[in-house]
Chain A
């Protein structure tokens, strides 16, 4: 059975966000909420939620049209609309009485066999299903989403003793494949895994920071990047989630957890927190948090709170030699003399020990706990992976020396570790004391796993080529930020030869957070600064040649972007024969932002796509104008769905909702193309030449007059216009793909020699922001 229609009840932040993500998956969704007293319209809350969703940044919908899949209503008039839903998600107030009353009504209207779930984070499943019939209890699960539902990949799913395994499987499969979530199955215990461990960790880290007399900056610097934790650390994260939430969740944990739970030893009231909440300093949503931006008197001063006095003072970047000295050696940070080492050790040791006590009470195994902390808190490694990194024996020794308890699971791992690689497979230590394979869901293929089991076919400092089975090879970027440099291009060229000889198809894919942010601008800028023009020219012409070789190879090439695919990264996507994109793909040609034009064939590829669009008016200009608009404004799509509208993706290109399924989907797409594959024909263009260039420049000058374009924007725009209108071409001339490439290269080289372009590149490299000069 599949899920074809979903009902969401409760149009608050979570309910609305869940509804949007379901719509993003192309599934119709009914969104209901109550009729508030004195409401102007009966659907006011749900309608308001959709309006809000359309304005949210970052966007909740992957495409505006997805909003059309959300049907709004209210629970007084529209419960009937739930009768044909295959899944009903409840996301109303966290009050058992309200939920009970709602469930009684749902029991009456729902289709038998449909899945019912609650998005609760605090109420046990056994309490929720009290008073419901057997069928309801069989079909009921908890689906705990994280905010914002589109972007947070973690989904905790909790079944009760009476829940049908089929229901858990069904909802998990839908969440995985259609909503793109990574499902972690949890036990019905307080706070499940993410909140249980997360709340404890934050509480420990806050209390210990105060006790050790550290500043908030120091604490965040320690319980942050050195541990693979985002740089928001502890206090920055508390600001983000809302400081007022702390006492509430602590109270809920205090009630729910047994007296023996280690949580209670850190459940201490912190006067500072009370004072901050009373003063409205509840974090980013309030007037300030542990950090704030003081804007009084037109200033923009970064400040932080003094943990001992509660007063704000100027932010003082933590300057901790212990962190510098430790480098990547986490152990030596924990062993550092003084309060820095003591704090780092206390927080991490307590957190890892606590995690070890959660199995099997909250989670079935270490894999679930690690996945939860990686996906829910963006930790680079989960607690058991961290324990392995430190060395389990070392950790046990330190705990013992400090007079702290050693949890059983940790002592079970003594002399070995929580994970190992056996015969090319990753295994974890089970409760039975034996190692078991880490099992991926069917249809999940990860390069990470392939790397454990095999050696690369080709490899250099910037890229690698892997055999991913069934005659398909995978080209992986491995450079910093997956930026494209001469070494990457060189390996791509070699890979094309090898694939032609020994494989059926090529997939271009990697598991970095971004597919590629484009050319390595640092190298290019350095080369420009030392006037190494021939090197830059070689990089451009080399890239053009390689990308064209890829396009016209006698085997299908499928690009599989996820995250950002910008500039050169976008050009690789454009030159691929087909694309399988992750839904969260942000694609665009952003070269003009740094004062350049696309140099690796992006101009011609976009021009050809627009030229082929039958909806455009005839004549040479519409395609030039459309391409000019997208490139001159450095348009970036905010999702794969949106990328289709911009023609960075074709309508025939595929979209995968789940990041972990992207490679398998791309491989399948490539294999499907192999039979009878013929390379594309080279496009030819009729372009308007000088008169067209003049027209495009007029448009750019219009922008400048309205203050939307700078003087250098106009120079860049003119160079782009020259390329897109064929340079010296005349309407009667046929402009070849190669001629366009030559124009592109000349324009790129000309711009690279200008001071304002170099200033833009430098500014972008150093600040990550564009320079509007």
Chain B
């Protein structure tokens, strides 16, 4: 069953115990942040997620969105849920106080995002897209545009979108056709068709602010000739209300595998009035400045779905009685034992748990670096944070969504046939999670970004922010009395990652196809080692805390056991991935196209 309870204890572990939340207050604008404040915000967010958003999740999936006379109707309950969500100020969490935001750090915001995604992934798209558009406007638009649009977007009365994809170009945006013609008054007339626009049209807000990539008449060809424009659905009046309708209409919405409560629109722009955001022809650069945060958010979607599925699977595994334990009846008084007695069911639950908690920890590390990048005054710290987040972005996006999908799939498996039917909502998690591997740059593109762009940059400088702390951790803990074996295992996988990195750097320089052939396996190897590091650090903290854990012995013991499971049962995959990487491109590139 879909019975979501926010994993607050684990979130506190990540933000406080792993990432030293106290130190956040040293950053600009976070002076007032304290662990207590964070805890109370998380508790409030949990209530909204559990009580407001989660109840609409299955209805949203059943009903989906409907396009009626150019207007998209969201599923029953979405509008009320959205209004409550806005009233609680949850659209303003990570926004600048200058525009009415609460100015909270990403370290907290990403945890809240996870709760929203667990509760209702389709719903999360609406505030999520608004926040992406908010970031683009806040970073690149003129002060005038900011003053008109941002306060409304922060309070949630207006929402936002990102219009990139066209029918013939998704990954390769250089082929874009949408045009923007400059007008005498400094605005532009935007014409063209966009598809796959999440939250592109809906009934949740009084206005929708589209951020549209388009080409000016004098633009250089290709990706370097694309500019970013702000195009509102309704042109704002002088007193900030939605005025006349602009030349943008929703021509259709997509019928999709999952996230059915999210409206995925085809938009037609016909001489729509728009305003330039940022520098002419530098639209892609403007988009990329918020990509690290956006892609981390998509990764969080995978994590959110996995967590929700895990909770459903655990409940079922304890409740469902069927057969007997292999070692003999565990509950002889009952007709059968609960299926959680079985090693294979345990394997499934432990895998899900190792994934979700590991990803949550890694996401916490990256979110913290995002905060440092955005708010530190030390140029060196800022640079290092920028390097690190740039490196980890493709890893987090791909790994979290791959593992998220795998975890929801396992969650469905725990239910057997009852997972495959719709009644329990377990198959919905699978379908909802699946899109996160595709949008915001497919996971294959993420892997190429990692090996082609991030790896070679500055002779590998971006790698330093990950490799040096891991190497130091291994050096420092290899003779840890209780965890020595665990750290040795991590060291082995880390060694494989080092060798694979050197191998790809050397091979890929001579032959980019070699790098391309290794990319996905390499990203997974990197991700597994990153989770291994998270689990090893978790274990070190757990060992420290256990002697005086009082009522929390079970929590820390659970951490320690899961860490061991990860190291013994999952991390060894690193060796296989390493061998696959070393084997080179031949087996995939040799075959003539005609043989396929």
- Which of chain A's residues have a CB closer than 8 A to the CB of B470? 531
Are A525 and B460 in contact, CB atoms less than 8 angstroms apart? yes
Determine the distance from Cα of A758 to Cα of B458 in the docked complex, in whole angstroms: 11
Would you give the shortest CB distance from B515 to chain A, in whole angstroms?
Answer: 14
Please tell me if B576 contacts chain A, counting CB pairs below 8 Å.
no
Are A766 and B458 in contact, CB atoms less than 8 angstroms apart? yes
- Which of chain A's residues have a CB closer than 8 A to the CB of B111? none
Determine the distance from Cα of A531 to Cα of B473 in the docked complex, in whole angstroms: 12
Are B505 and A758 in contact, CB atoms less than 8 angstroms apart? no
Please tell me if A400 contacts chain B, counting CB pairs below 8 Å.
no
Determine the distance from Cα of A737 to Cα of B223 in the docked complex, in whole angstroms: 59
Residue ID in chain A nearest B509 by CB atoms: A522
- Which of chain B's residues have a CB closer than 8 A to the CB of A533? 471
Please tell me if B343 contacts chain A, counting CB pairs below 8 Å.
no
Are B502 and A529 in contact, CB atoms less than 8 angstroms apart? no
Residue ID in chain A nearest B380 by CB atoms: A755
Please tell me if B461 contacts chain A, counting CB pairs below 8 Å.
yes
Interface on chain B toward A: helix, strand, loop, or mixed SS? Answer: helix
Please tell me if A527 contacts chain B, counting CB pairs below 8 Å.
yes
For B459-470 the 0/1 string (1 means CB < 8 A from A) is 111011001101
Please tell me if B273 contacts chain A, counting CB pairs below 8 Å.
no
Determine the distance from Cα of A766 to Cα of B461 in the docked complex, in whole angstroms: 12
Are B498 and A762 in contact, CB atoms less than 8 angstroms apart? no
Please tell me if B501 contacts chain A, counting CB pairs below 8 Å.
yes
Are A530 and B502 in contact, CB atoms less than 8 angstroms apart? yes
Query: Which among B220, B461, B468, B505 is the interface contact of A531 at CB below 8 angstroms?
Result: B468
Are A530 and B463 in contact, CB atoms less than 8 angstroms apart? yes
Determine the distance from Cα of A527 to Cα of B460 in the docked complex, in whole angstroms: 8
Are A530 and B459 in contact, CB atoms less than 8 angstroms apart? no
Please tell me if A765 contacts chain B, counting CB pairs below 8 Å.
yes
- Which of chain B's residues have a CB closer than 8 A to the CB of A535? 502
For A525-556 the 0/1 string (1 means CB < 8 A from B) is 11111111101000000000000000000000
Determine the distance from Cα of A532 to Cα of B496 in the docked complex, in whole angstroms: 11
Are B461 and A529 in contact, CB atoms less than 8 angstroms apart? yes
- Which of chain B's residues have a CB closer than 8 A to the CB of A532? 498, 502
- Which of chain B's residues have a CB closer than 8 A to the CB of A528? 464
Are B467 and A762 in contact, CB atoms less than 8 angstroms apart? no
Determine the distance from Cα of A129 to Cα of B153 in the docked complex, in whole angstroms: 90
For B481-514 the 0/1 string (1 means CB < 8 A from A) is 0000000000000000010011001000000000
Determine the distance from Cα of A528 to Cα of B468 in the docked complex, in whole angstroms: 9
Within 8 A of A (CB), among B414-460: 458-460
Task: Given A526-B502, A527-B502, A530-B498, decide whether A762 and B463 contact each other with a Cβ distance below 8 A.
Answer: no
- Which of chain B's residues have a CB closer than 8 A to the CB of A529? 459-461, 463-464, 467
Determine the distance from Cα of A529 to Cα of B471 in the docked complex, in whole angstroms: 11
- Which of chain B's residues have a CB closer than 8 A to the CB of A761? 459
For A289-329 the 0/1 string (1 means CB < 8 A from B) is 00000000000000000000000000000010000000000
Are A526 and B505 in contact, CB atoms less than 8 angstroms apart? yes
Would you give the shortest CB distance from B416 to chain A, in whole angstroms?
Answer: 45
Determine the distance from Cα of A481 to Cα of B460 in the docked complex, in whole angstroms: 20
Determine the distance from Cα of A527 to Cα of B468 in the docked complex, in whole angstroms: 11
Determine the distance from Cα of A721 to Cα of B458 in the docked complex, in whole angstroms: 31
Determine the distance from Cα of A526 to Cα of B457 in the docked complex, in whole angstroms: 10
Determine the distance from Cα of A113 to Cα of B293 in the docked complex, in whole angstroms: 84
Would you give the shortest CB distance from A750 to chain B, in whole angstroms?
Answer: 15
For B160-201 the 0/1 string (1 means CB < 8 A from A) is 000000000000000000000000000000000000000000
Determine the distance from Cα of A761 to Cα of B463 in the docked complex, in whole angstroms: 15
Query: How many residues on chain A are close to B (CB under 8 Å)?
Result: 17
Most-contacted residue by chain B among A319, A525, A529, A762 (CB, 10 A): A529
- Which of chain B's residues have a CB closer than 8 A to the CB of A765? 459
Would you give the shortest CB distance from A751 to chain B, in whole angstroms?
Answer: 15
- Which of chain A's residues have a CB closer than 8 A to the CB of B502? 526-527, 530, 532, 535
Would you give the shortest CB distance from B46 to chain A, in whole angstroms?
Answer: 39
- Which of chain A's residues have a CB closer than 8 A to the CB of B472? 531
Are B458 and A530 in contact, CB atoms less than 8 angstroms apart? no
For A755-773 the 0/1 string (1 means CB < 8 A from B) is 0001001100110000000
Most-contacted residue by chain B among A522, A529, A530 (CB, 10 A): A530
Are B468 and A762 in contact, CB atoms less than 8 angstroms apart? no
- Which of chain A's residues have a CB closer than 8 A to the CB of B463? 529-530
Are A762 and B459 in contact, CB atoms less than 8 angstroms apart? yes
- Which of chain A's residues have a CB closer than 8 A to the CB of B467? 529-531
Determine the distance from Cα of A525 to Cα of B472 in the docked complex, in whole angstroms: 18
Are A531 and B471 in contact, CB atoms less than 8 angstroms apart? yes
Determine the distance from Cα of A261 to Cα of B464 in the docked complex, in whole angstroms: 63
- Which of chain B's residues have a CB closer than 8 A to the CB of A530? 460, 463-464, 467, 498, 501-502
Are B460 and A526 in contact, CB atoms less than 8 angstroms apart? yes
Would you give the shortest CB distance from A62 to chain B, in whole angstroms?
Answer: 36
- Which of chain B's residues have a CB closer than 8 A to the CB of A758? 461, 464
Residue ID in chain B nearest A522 by CB atoms: B459
Residue ID in chain B nearest A529 by CB atoms: B460
For A582-594 the 0/1 string (1 means CB < 8 A from B) is 0000000000000
Determine the distance from Cα of A525 to Cα of B460 in the docked complex, in whole angstroms: 7
Determine the distance from Cα of A761 to Cα of B458 in the docked complex, in whole angstroms: 10
Would you give the shortest CB distance from B170 to chain A, in whole angstroms?
Answer: 23
Are A531 and B458 in contact, CB atoms less than 8 angstroms apart? no
Within 8 A of B (CB), among A326-354: none
Would you give the shortest CB distance from A620 to chain B, in whole angstroms?
Answer: 36
Would you give the shortest CB distance from B70 to chain A, in whole angstroms?
Answer: 42
Within 8 A of A (CB), among B107-157: none
Task: Given A530-B467, A531-B467, decide whether A762 and B501 contact each other with a Cβ distance below 8 A.
Answer: no
Residue ID in chain B nearest A761 by CB atoms: B459
Would you give the shortest CB distance from A524 to chain B, in whole angstroms?
Answer: 9
Determine the distance from Cα of A530 to Cα of B498 in the docked complex, in whole angstroms: 6
Are A526 and B498 in contact, CB atoms less than 8 angstroms apart? no
Would you give the shortest CB distance from A552 to chain B, in whole angstroms?
Answer: 32
Most-contacted residue by chain A among B220, B458, B459, B464 (CB, 10 A): B459
For B17-56 the 0/1 string (1 means CB < 8 A from A) is 0000000000000000000000000000000000000000
Determine the distance from Cα of A530 to Cα of B501 in the docked complex, in whole angstroms: 8
- Which of chain B's residues have a CB closer than 8 A to the CB of A766? 458-459
Most-contacted residue by chain A among B458, B463, B470, B505 (CB, 10 A): B458
- Which of chain A's residues have a CB closer than 8 A to the CB of B498? 530-532
Would you give the shortest CB distance from B187 to chain A, in whole angstroms?
Answer: 27
Query: Which among B220, B459, B468, B471 is the interface contact of A526 at CB below 8 angstroms?
Result: B459
Determine the distance from Cα of A529 to Cα of B460 in the docked complex, in whole angstroms: 6
Determine the distance from Cα of A762 to Cα of B472 in the docked complex, in whole angstroms: 22
Within 8 A of B (CB), among A490-534: 522, 525-533
Would you give the shortest CB distance from A765 to chain B, in whole angstroms?
Answer: 6
Residue ID in chain A nearest B500 by CB atoms: A530
Residue ID in chain A nearest B497 by CB atoms: A530
Are B459 and A525 in contact, CB atoms less than 8 angstroms apart? yes
Determine the distance from Cα of A526 to Cα of B220 in the docked complex, in whole angstroms: 35
Are B471 and A762 in contact, CB atoms less than 8 angstroms apart? no
Within 8 A of A (CB), among B274-317: none
Determine the distance from Cα of A522 to Cα of B461 in the docked complex, in whole angstroms: 11
- Which of chain A's residues have a CB closer than 8 A to the CB of B501? 530
- Which of chain B's residues have a CB closer than 8 A to the CB of A762? 458-459, 461
Residue ID in chain B nearest A530 by CB atoms: B467
Would you give the shortest CB distance from A241 to chain B, in whole angstroms?
Answer: 34
Would you give the shortest CB distance from A324 to chain B, in whole angstroms?
Answer: 12
Determine the distance from Cα of A761 to Cα of B220 in the docked complex, in whole angstroms: 36
6 A-B pairs closest in CB distance = A531-B471, A529-B460, A526-B460, A525-B459, A531-B467, A530-B467
> Can you identify 13 A-B contacts, CB atoms within 8 angstroms?
A522-B459, A525-B460, A525-B461, A526-B505, A528-B464, A530-B463, A530-B464, A530-B501, A531-B470, A531-B471, A532-B502, A533-B471, A762-B461
| Other contacts beyond A525-B461, A531-B470: 13, CB < 8 A | A525-B460, A526-B505, A529-B460, A529-B464, A529-B467, A531-B464, A531-B467, A531-B468, A531-B471, A532-B498, A761-B459, A765-B459, A766-B459
Which A residues lie at the B interface, using CB under 8 A? 319, 522, 525-533, 535, 758, 761-762, 765-766
Which B residues lie at the A interface, using CB under 8 A? 220, 458-461, 463-464, 467-468, 470-472, 498, 501-502, 505
